[in-house]
Amino acid sequence: MGRFLARRLLHLGPVLLGVSVIVFLVLHLAPGDPAEVMLGANANKEDLERLRVQLGLDQPLYVQYLTWIGHVARGDLGRSLWMKRPVLGEVLERFKATLLLTGTALFLSTVGGIALGIASATRANSLLDRLSAVASLFGASMPTFWLGIVLMVVFSLWLGWLPASGMYAPYGGGGLRDLLAHLILPAVTLAAASVTIIARLTRATMLETLGQDYVRTARAKGLGDRPVVWRHALKNALIPIVTVVGVQAGYLLGGAVLTETVFAWPGVGTLVVQGILARDVPLVQGGVLVIALSFVLVNLAVDTLYAWLDPRIKFQ
Protein backbone atom coordinates (compact mmCIF):
# COMPACT_ATOMS: atom_id res chain seq x y z
CA MET A 1 0.00 0.00 0.00
CA GLY A 2 2.77 2.39 0.95
CA ARG A 3 4.61 1.69 -2.28
CA PHE A 4 1.41 2.15 -4.23
CA LEU A 5 0.84 5.55 -2.66
CA ALA A 6 4.41 6.65 -3.26
CA ARG A 7 4.25 5.62 -6.89
CA ARG A 8 0.96 7.41 -7.44
CA LEU A 9 2.32 10.55 -5.84
CA LEU A 10 5.24 10.32 -8.26
CA HIS A 11 2.75 10.38 -11.12
CA LEU A 12 1.47 13.70 -9.88
CA GLY A 13 4.32 15.52 -11.57
CA PRO A 14 3.74 14.24 -15.12
CA VAL A 15 -0.03 14.70 -14.84
CA LEU A 16 0.28 18.31 -13.70
CA LEU A 17 2.94 18.97 -16.31
CA GLY A 18 0.63 17.51 -18.96
CA VAL A 19 -2.21 19.69 -17.76
CA SER A 20 -0.04 22.81 -17.80
CA VAL A 21 1.26 22.17 -21.32
CA ILE A 22 -2.25 21.65 -22.63
CA VAL A 23 -3.60 24.75 -20.86
CA PHE A 24 -0.73 26.76 -22.24
CA LEU A 25 -1.18 25.53 -25.79
CA VAL A 26 -4.94 25.92 -25.71
CA LEU A 27 -4.76 29.50 -24.51
CA HIS A 28 -2.23 30.36 -27.18
CA LEU A 29 -3.91 28.52 -30.01
CA ALA A 30 -7.34 29.91 -29.21
CA PRO A 31 -8.18 32.98 -31.26
CA GLY A 32 -7.52 36.25 -29.45
CA ASP A 33 -4.46 36.97 -27.30
CA PRO A 34 -4.34 38.84 -23.96
CA ALA A 35 -3.29 42.06 -25.63
CA GLU A 36 -6.24 41.98 -27.97
CA VAL A 37 -8.72 41.22 -25.24
CA MET A 38 -7.22 43.88 -23.00
CA LEU A 39 -7.38 46.57 -25.63
CA GLY A 40 -10.83 45.63 -26.82
CA ALA A 41 -12.40 46.13 -30.20
CA ASN A 42 -11.19 49.71 -30.55
CA ALA A 43 -7.46 49.21 -30.33
CA ASN A 44 -5.03 50.50 -32.88
CA LYS A 45 -2.05 48.57 -34.20
CA GLU A 46 0.70 50.46 -32.33
CA ASP A 47 -0.94 50.02 -28.94
CA LEU A 48 -1.45 46.35 -29.69
CA GLU A 49 2.15 45.71 -30.68
CA ARG A 50 3.46 47.69 -27.77
CA LEU A 51 1.35 45.73 -25.30
CA ARG A 52 2.41 42.44 -26.84
CA VAL A 53 6.03 43.32 -26.20
CA GLN A 54 5.21 44.43 -22.65
CA LEU A 55 3.47 41.13 -21.98
CA GLY A 56 6.27 39.10 -23.54
CA LEU A 57 3.96 37.74 -26.21
CA ASP A 58 6.48 38.51 -28.92
CA GLN A 59 8.68 35.66 -27.64
CA PRO A 60 8.46 32.19 -29.22
CA LEU A 61 5.92 29.92 -27.51
CA TYR A 62 8.45 27.53 -26.02
CA VAL A 63 10.40 30.42 -24.50
CA GLN A 64 7.22 31.74 -22.92
CA TYR A 65 6.40 28.31 -21.54
CA LEU A 66 9.90 27.62 -20.24
CA THR A 67 10.02 31.02 -18.55
CA TRP A 68 6.75 30.25 -16.86
CA ILE A 69 7.68 26.73 -15.80
CA GLY A 70 11.03 28.02 -14.54
CA HIS A 71 9.23 30.41 -12.23
CA VAL A 72 6.83 27.69 -11.10
CA ALA A 73 9.75 25.48 -10.15
CA ARG A 74 10.80 28.24 -7.79
CA GLY A 75 7.30 28.39 -6.31
CA ASP A 76 6.35 31.55 -8.17
CA LEU A 77 3.15 31.27 -10.16
CA GLY A 78 3.63 34.77 -11.52
CA ARG A 79 1.25 37.66 -11.63
CA SER A 80 -2.08 37.91 -13.34
CA LEU A 81 -1.74 39.85 -16.60
CA TRP A 82 -4.90 41.79 -15.91
CA MET A 83 -5.21 42.15 -12.20
CA LYS A 84 -1.48 42.45 -11.72
CA ARG A 85 -1.79 40.51 -8.48
CA PRO A 86 0.26 37.45 -7.51
CA VAL A 87 -1.54 34.42 -8.87
CA LEU A 88 -0.79 32.03 -6.02
CA GLY A 89 -2.43 34.06 -3.28
CA GLU A 90 -5.38 34.93 -5.47
CA VAL A 91 -6.02 31.33 -6.49
CA LEU A 92 -5.65 29.89 -2.99
CA GLU A 93 -8.00 32.48 -1.54
CA ARG A 94 -10.65 31.67 -4.12
CA PHE A 95 -10.01 27.95 -3.82
CA LYS A 96 -11.03 28.03 -0.17
CA ALA A 97 -14.46 29.28 -1.17
CA THR A 98 -14.78 26.64 -3.87
CA LEU A 99 -13.69 23.90 -1.49
CA LEU A 100 -16.31 24.95 1.03
CA LEU A 101 -19.03 25.00 -1.59
CA THR A 102 -18.12 21.73 -3.32
CA GLY A 103 -17.38 20.02 -0.01
CA THR A 104 -20.83 20.87 1.28
CA ALA A 105 -22.47 19.91 -1.98
CA LEU A 106 -20.56 16.63 -2.09
CA PHE A 107 -21.61 15.83 1.46
CA LEU A 108 -25.25 16.58 0.71
CA SER A 109 -25.28 14.60 -2.52
CA THR A 110 -23.38 11.59 -1.14
CA VAL A 111 -25.43 11.20 2.00
CA GLY A 112 -28.67 12.00 0.25
CA GLY A 113 -27.88 9.96 -2.84
CA ILE A 114 -26.80 6.79 -1.02
CA ALA A 115 -29.75 6.96 1.37
CA LEU A 116 -32.17 7.43 -1.48
CA GLY A 117 -30.50 4.71 -3.54
CA ILE A 118 -30.64 2.13 -0.74
CA ALA A 119 -34.23 2.98 0.06
CA SER A 120 -35.15 2.51 -3.61
CA ALA A 121 -33.18 -0.70 -4.00
CA THR A 122 -34.64 -2.42 -0.96
CA ARG A 123 -38.11 -1.52 -2.12
CA ALA A 124 -37.56 -1.84 -5.86
CA ASN A 125 -40.55 -0.84 -7.98
CA SER A 126 -42.44 0.46 -4.95
CA LEU A 127 -44.07 3.87 -4.92
CA LEU A 128 -41.06 5.32 -3.08
CA ASP A 129 -38.73 3.90 -5.72
CA ARG A 130 -40.77 5.37 -8.56
CA LEU A 131 -41.13 8.75 -6.88
CA SER A 132 -37.44 9.01 -6.13
CA ALA A 133 -36.68 8.04 -9.73
CA VAL A 134 -38.94 10.75 -11.09
CA ALA A 135 -37.66 13.37 -8.65
CA SER A 136 -34.02 12.62 -9.28
CA LEU A 137 -34.44 12.52 -13.03
CA PHE A 138 -36.17 15.85 -12.81
CA GLY A 139 -33.00 17.12 -11.17
CA ALA A 140 -30.90 15.68 -13.97
CA SER A 141 -32.85 17.40 -16.72
CA MET A 142 -32.88 20.86 -15.18
CA PRO A 143 -29.79 22.93 -15.82
CA THR A 144 -27.93 24.28 -12.83
CA PHE A 145 -28.60 27.92 -13.55
CA TRP A 146 -32.32 27.32 -13.84
CA LEU A 147 -32.57 25.55 -10.52
CA GLY A 148 -30.36 28.21 -8.94
CA ILE A 149 -32.49 31.06 -10.17
CA VAL A 150 -35.73 29.38 -9.11
CA LEU A 151 -34.37 28.66 -5.63
CA MET A 152 -33.14 32.25 -5.39
CA VAL A 153 -36.46 33.72 -6.41
CA VAL A 154 -38.40 31.50 -4.02
CA PHE A 155 -36.18 31.62 -0.95
CA SER A 156 -34.73 35.12 -1.26
CA LEU A 157 -37.14 37.24 -3.23
CA TRP A 158 -40.49 35.78 -2.20
CA LEU A 159 -39.89 34.28 1.21
CA GLY A 160 -36.98 36.47 2.24
CA TRP A 161 -35.40 33.63 4.22
CA LEU A 162 -31.97 33.48 2.70
CA PRO A 163 -29.58 35.96 1.07
CA ALA A 164 -29.52 35.85 -2.73
CA SER A 165 -25.81 36.03 -3.44
CA GLY A 166 -22.29 36.44 -2.14
CA MET A 167 -20.46 34.60 0.63
CA TYR A 168 -20.77 37.09 3.46
CA ALA A 169 -22.92 40.15 3.93
CA PRO A 170 -20.66 43.06 2.91
CA TYR A 171 -21.18 44.68 6.29
CA GLY A 172 -22.31 43.44 9.67
CA GLY A 173 -21.79 39.84 8.54
CA GLY A 174 -18.84 37.54 8.77
CA GLY A 175 -20.04 35.04 11.37
CA LEU A 176 -20.67 31.33 10.90
CA ARG A 177 -24.40 31.85 10.61
CA ASP A 178 -23.93 34.49 7.96
CA LEU A 179 -21.70 32.10 6.02
CA LEU A 180 -24.15 29.20 6.37
CA ALA A 181 -27.04 31.34 5.25
CA HIS A 182 -25.13 32.31 2.12
CA LEU A 183 -23.94 28.73 1.55
CA ILE A 184 -27.26 26.89 1.54
CA LEU A 185 -28.74 27.90 -1.81
CA PRO A 186 -25.57 27.42 -3.90
CA ALA A 187 -24.73 24.13 -2.15
CA VAL A 188 -28.20 22.68 -2.72
CA THR A 189 -28.16 23.86 -6.33
CA LEU A 190 -24.78 22.27 -6.94
CA ALA A 191 -25.69 19.04 -5.16
CA ALA A 192 -28.91 18.53 -7.11
CA ALA A 193 -27.37 17.00 -10.22
CA SER A 194 -24.94 14.77 -8.32
CA VAL A 195 -27.52 13.43 -5.93
CA THR A 196 -29.40 12.01 -8.89
CA ILE A 197 -26.44 10.20 -10.32
CA ILE A 198 -25.34 8.81 -6.98
CA ALA A 199 -28.86 7.69 -6.06
CA ARG A 200 -29.51 5.96 -9.36
CA LEU A 201 -26.17 4.24 -9.35
CA THR A 202 -26.50 3.13 -5.75
CA ARG A 203 -29.87 1.62 -6.55
CA ALA A 204 -28.53 -0.24 -9.55
CA THR A 205 -25.44 -1.70 -7.88
CA MET A 206 -27.38 -2.55 -4.73
CA LEU A 207 -29.88 -4.47 -6.83
CA GLU A 208 -27.05 -6.29 -8.49
CA THR A 209 -25.32 -7.31 -5.29
CA LEU A 210 -28.60 -8.22 -3.62
CA GLY A 211 -29.10 -10.71 -6.44
CA GLN A 212 -25.69 -12.32 -6.05
CA ASP A 213 -25.07 -15.79 -4.69
CA TYR A 214 -23.43 -14.89 -1.42
CA VAL A 215 -26.20 -12.52 -0.50
CA ARG A 216 -28.76 -15.12 -1.34
CA THR A 217 -26.78 -17.56 0.76
CA ALA A 218 -26.78 -15.13 3.64
CA ARG A 219 -30.48 -14.71 3.27
CA ALA A 220 -31.00 -18.44 3.08
CA LYS A 221 -28.99 -18.84 6.27
CA GLY A 222 -31.68 -16.80 7.90
CA LEU A 223 -30.03 -13.42 8.19
CA GLY A 224 -32.55 -10.63 8.40
CA ASP A 225 -33.00 -8.06 5.68
CA ARG A 226 -31.20 -5.26 7.40
CA PRO A 227 -27.94 -7.07 8.15
CA VAL A 228 -27.95 -8.41 4.61
CA VAL A 229 -28.30 -4.94 3.21
CA TRP A 230 -25.85 -3.23 5.48
CA ARG A 231 -23.19 -5.83 6.13
CA HIS A 232 -23.01 -7.65 2.83
CA ALA A 233 -24.65 -5.88 -0.01
CA LEU A 234 -23.66 -2.30 0.68
CA LYS A 235 -19.98 -2.96 1.12
CA ASN A 236 -19.78 -4.70 -2.22
CA ALA A 237 -21.92 -2.15 -3.94
CA LEU A 238 -19.64 0.57 -2.70
CA ILE A 239 -16.96 0.25 -5.36
CA PRO A 240 -18.95 1.83 -8.19
CA ILE A 241 -20.51 4.24 -5.73
CA VAL A 242 -17.13 5.39 -4.48
CA THR A 243 -15.96 5.74 -8.06
CA VAL A 244 -18.87 7.89 -8.99
CA VAL A 245 -18.59 9.98 -5.85
CA GLY A 246 -14.94 10.58 -6.75
CA VAL A 247 -15.85 11.52 -10.28
CA GLN A 248 -18.57 13.81 -8.98
CA ALA A 249 -16.08 15.45 -6.65
CA GLY A 250 -14.03 16.29 -9.69
CA TYR A 251 -16.94 17.61 -11.64
CA LEU A 252 -18.12 19.64 -8.68
CA LEU A 253 -14.67 21.17 -8.25
CA GLY A 254 -14.31 22.17 -11.86
CA GLY A 255 -17.98 22.49 -12.58
CA ALA A 256 -19.04 24.78 -9.78
CA VAL A 257 -18.54 27.66 -12.21
CA LEU A 258 -22.18 28.06 -13.12
CA THR A 259 -23.35 27.93 -9.53
CA GLU A 260 -20.63 30.33 -8.49
CA THR A 261 -21.72 32.71 -11.24
CA VAL A 262 -25.42 32.57 -10.42
CA PHE A 263 -24.83 33.19 -6.72
CA ALA A 264 -21.78 35.49 -7.01
CA TRP A 265 -19.85 32.94 -4.93
CA PRO A 266 -16.18 34.03 -4.92
CA GLY A 267 -14.77 30.69 -6.03
CA VAL A 268 -11.88 29.64 -8.21
CA GLY A 269 -14.17 28.51 -11.04
CA THR A 270 -15.36 32.00 -11.86
CA LEU A 271 -11.79 33.25 -11.54
CA VAL A 272 -10.58 30.73 -14.13
CA VAL A 273 -13.41 31.56 -16.52
CA GLN A 274 -12.67 35.27 -16.20
CA GLY A 275 -9.06 34.39 -16.87
CA ILE A 276 -9.94 32.34 -19.95
CA LEU A 277 -12.11 35.09 -21.37
CA ALA A 278 -9.24 37.54 -20.81
CA ARG A 279 -6.64 35.01 -22.07
CA ASP A 280 -4.84 35.66 -18.79
CA VAL A 281 -2.41 32.77 -19.10
CA PRO A 282 -0.72 32.85 -15.67
CA LEU A 283 -4.05 33.16 -13.89
CA VAL A 284 -5.66 30.30 -15.78
CA GLN A 285 -2.56 28.14 -15.33
CA GLY A 286 -2.58 28.74 -11.60
CA GLY A 287 -6.30 28.08 -11.24
CA VAL A 288 -6.31 24.96 -13.38
CA LEU A 289 -3.26 23.55 -11.63
CA VAL A 290 -4.92 23.88 -8.24
CA ILE A 291 -8.13 22.29 -9.52
CA ALA A 292 -6.16 19.55 -11.23
CA LEU A 293 -4.06 18.86 -8.16
CA SER A 294 -7.08 18.49 -5.92
CA PHE A 295 -8.77 16.36 -8.49
CA VAL A 296 -5.83 13.99 -8.78
CA LEU A 297 -5.71 13.73 -5.01
CA VAL A 298 -9.40 12.86 -4.87
CA ASN A 299 -8.82 10.11 -7.42
CA LEU A 300 -5.92 8.80 -5.43
CA ALA A 301 -8.16 8.69 -2.39
CA VAL A 302 -10.76 6.78 -4.40
CA ASP A 303 -8.23 4.20 -5.53
CA THR A 304 -7.01 3.80 -1.98
CA LEU A 305 -10.58 3.27 -0.87
CA TYR A 306 -10.99 0.50 -3.44
CA ALA A 307 -8.23 -1.47 -1.82
CA TRP A 308 -9.71 -0.92 1.59
CA LEU A 309 -13.20 -1.94 0.51
CA ASP A 310 -12.10 -5.01 -1.38
CA PRO A 311 -8.79 -6.44 -0.18
CA ARG A 312 -8.65 -8.71 -3.20
CA ILE A 313 -7.85 -5.72 -5.40
CA LYS A 314 -4.13 -5.53 -5.97
CA PHE A 315 -2.32 -2.57 -7.36
CA GLN A 316 0.87 -3.13 -9.18
Partner 1 sequence: MKIGRLVGLALLLPLALALGAPVDAQPVGTLVVGLVAEPVNLDPAQVTDFNSNRVGRRIVEPLITFAEESTRIEPNLAESWTISPDGLQYTFKLRKGVKFHDGTPFNAAAVKFSIERQISAEHPANKIGKYPFANYFFGNVKSVEAMDDSTVRFILKEPRASFLVVMAAAAASMVSPTAMMKAGVDFASAPVGTGPFRYAAWTRGQHVTLEKFSDYWKGAPKIDRVIYRPIVEDQARLTELLTGTLDLIVGVPADFVAQLEGNAKVNLLKQVGAHVWYLGINNSKKPFDDKRVRQALNYAVNKEAIVRDVLKGTGAVSRGPVLPGTWGAEPNLKAYPYDPAQAKKLLAEAGFPNGFSTTMWVPESGSGMQSPVAMAIVMQSNLRAVGVNVTLQTMEWGAYIAKLRTKEQELFALSWAAGSEDPDMVMYPLFHSTQWTPNGPNRAMYKNEKFDALLTEARHVTDQAKRAALYREAQKILVEDAPWVFVDHEIQIAATSKRVQGFKLHPSFDLRTETVILR
Partner 2 sequence: MRSHLLALHRNRLAATALVAIALAVVAALAAPWLPLSDPDTVDTANRLKPPGTPGHPLGTDEFGRDLVSRLVWGARVSLLAGVGTAAAAMVMGVSLGLLAGYYGAWVETLIMRLTDILMAFPFILLAIAIVAGLGPGLRNAMIAIAIVGFPIYARLVRGVVLTVREREFVEAARALGSPDRLILARHVVPHLLSPVVVAFSLDVGAKILTTAGLSFLGLGTQPPTADWGSMLATGRQFVILSPHVVLLPGFAIFVTVLALNLVGDAVRDILDPRTRTA
Q: Which of residues 57-86 bind partner 2 (CB under 8 A)?
A: none
CB of 269 to partner 1, least distance (A): 10
Candidate residues 56, 89, 143, 227; the one interacting with partner 2 per rule CB under 8 A: 143
Which residue number, 115 or 149, has a Cβ lying nearer to partner 2? 149
- Of the candidates 196, 252, 260, 267, which one interacts with partner 2 according to CB under 8 A? 196
Residue 186 binds partner 1 (CB under 8 A): no
Q: Does 112 bind partner 2 (CB under 8 A)?
A: no
Which residues, 83 to 142, sit near partner 1 by CB under 8 A?
A: 83-85, 90, 93-94, 97, 104, 108, 111-112, 115, 119
Minimum gap (Å) between residue 7 Cβ and partner 1: 37
Residue 1 Cβ vs partner 2, minimum distance, rounded to whole Å: 15
Residue 264 engages partner 2 in binding (rule: CB under 8 A) = no
Provide, rounded to whole angstroms, the least separation between the CB of residue 212 and partner 1: 23
Single residue of 101, 108, 195, 272 touching partner 2 by CB under 8 A: 272
Stretch that binds partner 2, among 20-28, 74-82, 159-167, 183-191 (CB under 8 A): 20-28
* Angle between the N-to-C axes of helices 144-152 and 176-210, in degrees from 0 to 180, rounded to the nearest 10: 130
